Structure 1
Amino acid sequence: MLTLGGLLGGCQAHVAAAKPPESATLGRIRGIRAARMFDAKAGRIVNNAVVRIEGDRIVSVTEGAPADPTVVDLGNVTIIPGMIDAHSHILSNGDKSYLEMLVEKSEAYRTLEGVANARNVLRAGFTTVRDCGNEGLMYADVSLRDAIAKGLVEGPRMFVATRAIAAVGGYMPFGVSPDLAHPPSGAQFVSGVEETRRAAREQIQHGADLLKLYADFPEGWGTFTVHPTLTVDEMKAAVDIAHTAGHKVAAHATSKQGIRNAIAAGVDSIEHGENADPEILRLMRDRGVVLVPTVAALANLLADAPASGLRRERYLKRIANSPRLVRDARDAGVKIAAGFDASESADDGHNAMEAIMLVAYGLSPVEALRAATLRGAELIGWDDRIGSIEKGKIADLVAVEGDPTKDIHALGHVTFVMKDGAVAWDVRDVSGASLSPTRPRGPARPTR
């Protein structure tokens, strides 16, 4: 049986505390050289590559270039594009149960947890994330996104879905007393087309980069029976608002009917897509709907499950379906974007696990690398700016030990991160030992 630790193969992303690089040092970096570079578009390794940088942009990429004293030589590493996590929850930390997280932690404290999580994600080589719901924090993810963009805190470029939209009774928390005047909520609950339309407009008005819809969900705590929640008409109302405003829509959908409903509503991506069959996958391909399978999230749920019992048996059954989903999606020609779906601080910084597991489930290392770079950029709508190392694109560059086209585990050994042309992480500047997240994982919860 595949386990999270076994797939990591001892690899851990470098997330140690680093000395902030001095501005003078940054000013001298006009290019970097490495033994290898991954060309995401061509799907090949370029040897002895030099990437020249001016400001935040790549101005040239030279193959087979000799050593040059005007550039920083990173040595025997592979340069890859800054990776993209297409499904994250940076403001969520499951060291408590979901309900406890909502009612026992202040918005300020959870936001500060998000700052720490964002730093670890960036230092793991992920320069961009598509954050698919802040789990009850109103618009705190907009503030974190903006603080990162202004350089106030370290973190990846964030595209945020803010509150997410769910049907009344169709998302967590469950079992809350109806007597509460202001019950906690993990999403913005709606009922009917007009409420959904209003929620979509509100979220975009307050800074959402994309909308997240829950097309289906388990019916309560500890259950595994999934039913469609939002209707096609409700979802279509949100999609129409989003697309008119130039925003994309992601749909959480794991049941066949939930996935079909979301596709019929016109969403841009299916998150999880657990039970998509070949017919549904061909429909996704024909309509250009991207799959973000989040297969590593299921492995995390299994790791949290009791050693025996019904819950473990159900997770084992769900995980057994993952290789089939990945293989069928690839064979159908569906575009796959890598999203780790981390919802705990202990996971942030290990985002490369999704690409590693995609390879374990049937993708080639090159396909998985593209899922974590170019495909994520296409899904966000920024493939003209990020996702590959090319002249004119933003200088988001990551160095990893080894050759990830031969061994995908190399993604777990990040030694250098550049974002927007500035050095964000360099293992050579580290003071102290490498620090991997060791906080205990919280109680298992449904995939979000």
Structure 2
Amino acid sequence: MVTARSKGVRRLLFGMLLLGGLLGGCQAPVAAAKAPEAPPPGRVRGVRAARLFDPKAGRIMSNAVVRIEGDRIVSVSEGAPADPTVVDLGDVTLIPGMIDSHSHIMANGDKSYLEMLVEKSESYRTLEGVANARNMLRAGFTSARDCGNEGLMYADISLRDAIAKGLVEGPRMFVATRAIAAVGGYFPFGVSSDLVQRPSGAQLVSGIEEARRAAREQIQHGADLLKLYADFPGGPGGLPVRPTLTVDEMKAAVDIAHTAGHKVAAHATSKQGIRNAVAAGVDSIEHGHDADAEVLRLMRDRGVFLVPTVAAYAGLLTDFPPGPRRDRLLKIVADQPRLVRAARDAGVKIATGFDAAASKDDGHNAMEAITLVAYGLSPVEALRATTLRGAELIGWDDRIGSIEKGKIADLVAVEGDPTKEIHALGHVTFVMKDGAVAWDVRDVTGASLSPTRPRGPHPTR
């Protein structure tokens, strides 16, 4: 309640303030010095490093400073002096956030494929995906093109959205949801015919109309891209690869996707499967084992990317006992250096995809770039494949893939110089995604930039 006494006190105080202003005469008010506003927890205004890799120019900048406002890069300067508002990362190389262009974050092949489908609940596999996504991010992969969730319907959309909202850690995900394969043309094989509801790792179609419907359904549910299986082995036991979806079936799905502004990836390993997929208008060939000079020129002329996934196949050799499947795998691995060199020489754009399908592999995604160098690419070419080329394939090269003014602040620091020693990609010390610190090795050593970050071991060290 306002009383007469309280009104009098207020008038007195007002008069004193007014008198103070009058006694000040013409003196200008002196503003108190204001300290720069601190960035929110987990954010920094800029970072400095001994080196910075520019994938467009293919060169290293020395003593680079990257300034950040919000989630964007506002400037990149070379040889800049020390600045107290900038975090000095020391003797490391800054590279753009890496991009895995062929992942399966929701898959964990610690059991057979059929056991994964029928013995694990969708909720448990989703939690495995959360762990896999965290390991990928901390390994420096800030974006992932996820090429099929292997039987989880649309759970990858939920994981993508949870990451985008900051509920869980992970790379920025571009998901293909269920993928599309021909009836009888995808895992699992050898399932009893008595089962009324057969488990499947993809959405199976037969005919043009079913292909169209599957494409529309997946896009309606939120798919960022479509994944088609142009060919596949004929069944268990290492049978030869054969074309599965027809050109017309694939073209029907491609037309739906492109009309809606989405890209299409095609699993294709045989010459005919690759030809069929390219004829259907896909945007990328995944694996591409048997591509010869003629089909590679066709891919180049039509702007079709190659995602060769070489490291995954080399890693599988320890998983198979002697027999037809191992024999075919040995043949594939032996021929992959030829494929990598031939694609490079033909002018086909190559993007890196580790094709991890087990939790033990997620977090080691840099092995793809390392293997590409072993197979004939230069370190600069492999770095481009895992940054700029991946961004072009996704269609986000105006936002990610290089460290430039106006682009999203996805930055990774690695020990050493990866343009001279590509294995440096396996020694990540700092990860920034969307302008926020996502991983800092000093979280473990105690000199943290972001004390709110969860602590844990680095997956590749």
Give the TM-score normalised by structure 1: 0.91
* Map of 1:113 onto structure 2: 128
Task: Name the residue aligned to 2:150.
Answer: 135
Contact 1:350-1:412 at 8 Å conserved across structures: yes
- Quick one: structure 1 residues 175 and 416, their matched pair in 2 at CA, closer, same or farther if it must change by over 3 Å? same
Question: Quick one: which of 403, 407, 422 aligns to 2:436?
Answer: 422
Residue in structure 2 matched with residue 384 of structure 1 by the alignment: 398
Conserved? CA contact 2:138–2:458, under 8 Å: no
Q: How far 1:310 sits from its partner (Å)?
A: 4.1
2:235 aligned counterpart, secondary structure: coil
Give the structure 1 partner of residue 14 of structure 2.
none
The structural deviation recorded for 1:24 is: 4.4
User: How far apart are the structure 2 equivalents of 1:383 and 1:405?
Assistant: 21
Q: Highest relative contact order (Cα 8 Å, sep 6+), 1 or 2? A: 1
SS of corresponding position for 1:58: strand
Task: Tell me which of 364, 369, 377 is aligned to 1:350.
Answer: 364
Unaligned 5+ runs, structure 1: 1-21, 439-448
Q: Deviations over 1:62-93 (max 9, x none)?
A: 01112211100000000000000000000000
Provide the C-alpha distance between the structure 2 equivalents of 1:210 and 1:166, rounded to a whole number of angstroms. 15
- Deviation at residue 313 of structure 1 after TM alignment: 3.1
- Correspondences of 1:142-161 after superposition (within 5 Å): 142-161=157-176
Alignment deviations for residues 2-40 of structure 1 (CA, whole Å, 9 cap, x no partner): xxxxxxxxxxxxxxxxxxxx984434x100000000001
Match for residue 407 of structure 1 among 421, 428, 441:
421
Partner of 1:290: 305
CA contact (8 A) 1:31 1:51 kept: yes
Residue 80 of structure 1 aligns to a residue whose secondary structure is: strand
**1:346 and 1:437 in contact (8 A); partners too:** no
Distance 1:428 1:201, change over 3 A: same
Distance 1:437 1:113 in 2: 18
Q: Considering only CA atoms, is the larger Rg found in Structure 1 or Structure 2?
A: 2
Aligned-partner Cα distance in 2 for 1:411–1:437: 10
Q: Which residue number in structure 1 is paired with residue 6 of structure 2?
A: none
Matches of 1:111 and 1:337 in 2, distance apart? Answer: 27
- Partner residue in 2 for 1:8: none
CA distance in 2 between counterparts of 1:192 and 1:36 reads: 54
Which residue pairs with 1:336 in the alignment?
350
Per the alignment, residue 200 of structure 2 pairs with 185
- 1:304 positional shift: 1.4
Post-superposition CA distance 1:358-406 (Å, at most 9, x none): 0000000000000000000000000000000000000000000000000
Greater than 6 Å deviation, 4+ residue runs: none
Instruction: Note the alpha carbon deviations across 1:38-72, whole angstroms, 9 max, x for none.
Output: 00110100000000000000000001112211100
Segments of structure 2 that go 5 or more residues without pairing to the other structure are: 1-37, 446-454
Give the 5 Å matches for 1:138-287.
Answer: 138-287=153-302
Partner residue in 2 for 1:84? 99
**C-alpha distance 224-415 of structure 1, shift in aligned 2 (>3 A):** farther
Q: Distance in 1 between matches of 2:460 and 2:140?
A: 16
Q: Aligned to 1:324, what secondary structure does the other structure show? A: helix
Q: How many residues align?
A: 415
1:52 match: 67
